[in-house]
């Protein structure tokens, strides 16, 4: 049954390649049915893998230390479930959204291939496999970022590629040191060999910091965040892919692997490596929220919100305890669900208003024209702000509690940063809702007079995601217990 790993990775990759090759001959109807069916089949196969838990699969061995291998462990379960649940919904939404765009077959070719590549990251059994698929993800998502192929799209693509290549160089450095002083296999607690690292501890900590920034590029840590708002010129399904499901989560996932499964918290905890990681996360949290509050461009505001929220997850990871990792995983789940709703609603607004860009001050009175869309936006905003009883509150609480338990000034500062960021998030998220439903006296609502609600596929996507957001909030206690077991390697 181990071959199921390879099949789940190959189905979307091959499907995407076929769509690219046959794009001139493939009709919209055929493409929609085949892509959605095969993406859903892949998600079903991932869930089967989670139940059966097959033995590791070695696909190719290049040397004694380099092997392309897949497996399923506690951390990969979490990421794989996020992908399997959210991707078919994103696919459903994208088919309606892309009817307003050009180059649909090219878009869906790379979009579908990305699903298989990110599953390769989730199922990677070692740092080499993760790195290989991590770089393939850059190649698959670059055409999506540049989809419009105008000046803005090309500039965004160049920035994305430049940042990704720089990050890849730092990340590659960690492979060399891990291979020399231990193994590339992922082992909870760390894969370094204590007998080999005597006297090299500080050097390895420096390498960890460099690799943290390398993988942190995709997680948009300061100062390597600017590619993310720049990529907002891409179609909204790409933005959702970048900001909520695949790319940024892959960056976070890689940092979690690096911290807990490669270098290990025993080497890092209480050292300059931990304080640098934590300090960067704290600054990014406040910076991203404050910057988002200042912006009026809707998608860029959401992009800077993503910058902040990703560092919530990394802050939990930087505590370097199982409680911190539990909070990080819980916020990874909550943020994925609520942020994808926010980008989908932003995309629906763009489609229905027929505008290339949308600014917050232009949304006056739009809530009455698009009630389902703005209801979804409100639910997701409550989750992102962390209003009880939404899951976003409990994830932030878990991270703050783990940080305070460190009994260290940076831990207290981290908890304060979460509170400040939640306040700022409330300001910039509620502004959109209030303008939409309760326009101020004298505000221009005429430009939205003829706007209608989004189509059924978009509304169905909203409904499914809102139900999922409510579900994880209602059952947050068992979800937290499950993620706590995953953080401790007990599943």
Tally of CA atoms within 13 A in the half-sphere of 298 that contains its CB: 27
pLDDT at res. 447: 65
Please say whether the beta carbons of 117 and 13 come within 8 A. yes
| Residue 237 burial by Cβ neighbours in a 10 Å radius (0-12, 13-18, 19+) | buried
Tally of CA atoms within 13 A in the half-sphere of 99 that contains its CB: 15
Expressed as residue numbers, the domain containing 403 is: 269-491
**Residue whose entry in the numeric block shows the structure tokens 């910058």:** 307
Nearest to 82 by CA among 229, 234, 250, 238: 250
Q: What is the DSSP string of 247-289?
A: HHHHHHHHHHIIIIIII-HHHHTTSHHHHHHHHHHHHHHHHHH
Listed in sequence order, the residues at least 6 apart from 289 whose beta carbon sits closer than 8 Å to its beta carbon are 304, 305, 308, 420, 421, 424, 425, 428
- Domain membership of residue 311 (yes or no) is yes
**Coil/strand/helix, residue 296:** coil
Taking CA atoms, 252 is separated from 94, 196, 296, 311, 420, in Å, by 24, 28, 27, 9, 22
- The tokens for 328 are 């990080």
| Residue 408 burial by Cβ neighbours in a 10 Å radius (0-12, 13-18, 19+) | middle
pLDDT along the chain (491 residues), means of 10: 94 91 74 87 95 94 92 95 93 82 80 94 96 93 80 83 90 94 94 90 96 93 88 66 76 95 95 97 96 90 91 96 96 94 88 74 84 91 93 96 95 96 93 83 64 86 93 96 93 76
What is the sign of the dihedral through the CA atoms of 450, 382, 316 and 325?
Answer: negative
**Coil/strand/helix, residue 197:** coil
Q: Which residues of 106-130 are buried (b: 16+ CB within 10 A; e: fewer)?
A: bbbbbbbbbbbbbbbbbbbbbbbbb
Q: What is the DSSP string of 158-191?
A: HHHHHHHHHHHHHHHHHHHHHHHHB-SB--TT--
* Domains contained in the chain, number: 1
- Domain membership of residue 321 (yes or no) is yes
pLDDT at res. 356: 61
- Domain membership of residue 375 (yes or no) is yes
Please say whether the beta carbons of 167 and 287 come within 8 A. no
- Domain membership of residue 217 (yes or no) is no
- Domain membership of residue 344 (yes or no) is yes
- Domain membership of residue 384 (yes or no) is yes
Query: Cα-flanking dihedrals φ and ψ of residue 442, to 5°?
Result: 90, -5
- The tokens for 243 are 């900001």
- Domain membership of residue 284 (yes or no) is yes
- Domain membership of residue 283 (yes or no) is yes
Alpha carbons 480 and 491: distance in angstroms, whole number: 13
């Amino acid at each position: 049954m181990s071959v199921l790993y390879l099949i789940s990775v190959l189905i979307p990759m091959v499907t995407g390649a076929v769509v690219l090759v046959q794009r001139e001959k493939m009709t919209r109807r055929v493409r929609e049915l085949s892509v959605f069916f095969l993406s859903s089949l892949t998600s079903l196969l991932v869930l089967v893998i989670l139940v059966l838990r097959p033995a590791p699969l070695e696909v190719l061995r290049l040397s004694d230390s380099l092997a392309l291998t897949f497996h399923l462990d506690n951390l990969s379960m979490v990421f794989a479930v996020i992908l399997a649940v959210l991707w078919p919904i994103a696919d459903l939404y994208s088919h309606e959204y892309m009817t307003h765009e050009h180059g649909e077959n090219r878009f869906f070719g790379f979009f579908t291939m990305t699903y298989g590549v990110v599953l390769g990251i989730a199922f990677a059994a070692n740092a080499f496999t993760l790195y290989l698929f991590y770089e393939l993800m850059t190649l698959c998502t670059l055409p999506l970022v540049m989809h419009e192929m105008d000046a803005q799209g090309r500039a965004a693509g160049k920035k994305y590629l430049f940042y990704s290549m720089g990050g890849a160089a730092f990340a590659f450095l960690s492979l060399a040191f891990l291979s020399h002083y231990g193994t590339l296999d992922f082992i909870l607690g760390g894969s370094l060999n204590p007998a080999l690292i005597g006297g090299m501890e500080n050097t390895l900590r420096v390498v960890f910091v460099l690799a943290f920034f390398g993988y942190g590029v995709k997680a948009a840590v300061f100062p390597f965040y600017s590619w993310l708002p720049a990529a907002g010129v891409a179609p909204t399904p790409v933005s959702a892919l970048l900001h909520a499901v695949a790319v940024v989560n892959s960056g976070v996932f890689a940092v979690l692997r690096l911290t807990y499964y490669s270098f290990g918290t025993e080497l890092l905890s209480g050292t300059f490596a931990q304080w640098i990681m934590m300090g960067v996360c704290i600054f990014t949290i406040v910076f991203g929220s404050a910057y988002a509050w200042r912006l009026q461009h809707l998608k860029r505001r959401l992009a800077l919100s993503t910058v902040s929220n990703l560092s919530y997850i990394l802050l939990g990871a930087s505590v370097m305890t199982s409680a911190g990792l539990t909070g990080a995983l819980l916020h990874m789940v909550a943020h994925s669900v609520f942020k994808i709703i926010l980008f989908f609603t932003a995309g629906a607004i763009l489609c229905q208003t027929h505008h290339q860009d949308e600014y917050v001050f232009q949304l006056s009175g739009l809530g009455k024209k698009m009630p389902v869309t703005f209801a979804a936006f409100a639910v997701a905003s409550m989750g992102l702000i962390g209003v009880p009883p939404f899951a976003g509150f409990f994830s932030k609480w878990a991270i703050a509690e783990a940080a305070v338990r460190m009994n260290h000034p940076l831990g207290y500062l981290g908890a304060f940063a979460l509170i400040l960021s939640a306040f700022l998030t409330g300001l910039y998220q509620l502004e959109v809702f209030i303008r939409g439903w309760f326009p101020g006296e004298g505000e221009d609502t005429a430009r939205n007079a003829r706007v209608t609600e989004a189509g059924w596929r978009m509304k169905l996507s909203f409904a499914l995601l809102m139900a999922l957001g409510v579900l994880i909030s209602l059952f947050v206690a068992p979800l937290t217990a499950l993620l706590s077991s995953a953080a401790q390697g007990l599943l």
